[in-house]
Amino acid sequence: MNELIGRVFDFQKNVFPQRSALYQNLAANGQSPKALIISCSDSRVVPEEILQAAPGDLFVCRNAGNIVPPFSNANGGVTSTVEFAVMVLGVRDIIICGHSDCGAMKALMKPGSLETMPNVAAWLRHSDAAFSVVRDGYPELSGPEQARAAALENVVVQLAHLRTHPSVASGIARGEIALHGWFFDIHNGVVLALDGASGRFEEISEGNPMPVALAAQKRFAAGEPLLEAAE
């Protein structure tokens, strides 16, 4: 048997018994995850490990390229996951996490490499804006540096897509949702976070304020209806 598949026996025998109280509580009372993270499917990027998350802590959606298609009438797994997390679970923090050495980003920058993978090619069209930004804005880059720039710009693009989803847009307007754009460097374990004010990624370090892409703050374009009503 594949050694990995066989580890389920170890989980049942050794891991679950130690955590049975936690699992019993989650089974009886349901889940109330503290955040939604949308990250790449890459096996080297493990959100639960990066965030030291226990069962019940983190609602996770992973796909090639940590992509969030913009809202449309077409149904989709990412769209449905976002809607459920916000509307049912009441998640208030959403993280989009890209990473170094991302195969999707390398393919994005080499469109010809996708001729035999029509589904991947179609999926990566949701990152076309990142491709254009890197092609036109960083013409001097190539290879790993270009892929890194694409991964960073792709997080920015996917955060913009996220805001087109009605559940997210409503939560942002009411000041109930914060957005986070992260980049995980596999080589050294460093996590960069997008600072929405400067538009740049900065290293997350203990003792410094956490850079936030979009802080939770009421944003009513037509004024603050609740405050006006109270006056």
**Binding segment for Zn ion among 36-44, 51-59, 82-90, 152-160 (CB under 5 A)?**
36-44
In Å, what is the CA distance from 16 to each residue of 7, 19, 121, 188? 12, 5, 40, 31
Query: What's the min distance (Å) between Cβ of 223 and Zn ion?
Result: 42
Query: What's the min distance (Å) between Cβ of 78 and Zn ion?
Result: 15
> Within 10 Å of residue 24's Cβ, how many Cβ atoms?
10
Between residues 66 and 167, which has the closer beta carbon with respect to Zn ion?
66
Q: CA-to-CA distance for 123 and 215, rounded, in angstroms?
A: 29
Distance of CA 221 to the CA centre of its chain: 26
Query: What's the min distance (Å) between Cβ of 58 and Zn ion?
Result: 18
**Binding segment for Zn ion among 16-24, 55-63, 75-83, 99-107 (CB under 5 A)?**
99-107
Within 8 A by CB and 6+ apart from 125, the residues are none
102 near Zn ion (CB under 5 A): yes
**Binding segment for Zn ion among 84-92, 104-112, 179-187, 212-220 (CB under 5 A)?**
104-112
**Binding segment for Zn ion among 53-61, 100-108, 110-118, 211-219 (CB under 5 A)?**
100-108
| Strand-by-strand arrangement of the 93-99 sheet | 58-63, 35-40, 93-99, 178-184, 191-195, 200-203
Strands 58-63 and 178-184: unpaired
40 near Zn ion (CB under 5 A): yes
The correct pick among 37, 38, 39, 42 for binding Zn ion (CB under 5 A) is 42
Name the residues that contact Zn ion, by CB under 5 A: 40, 42, 102, 104
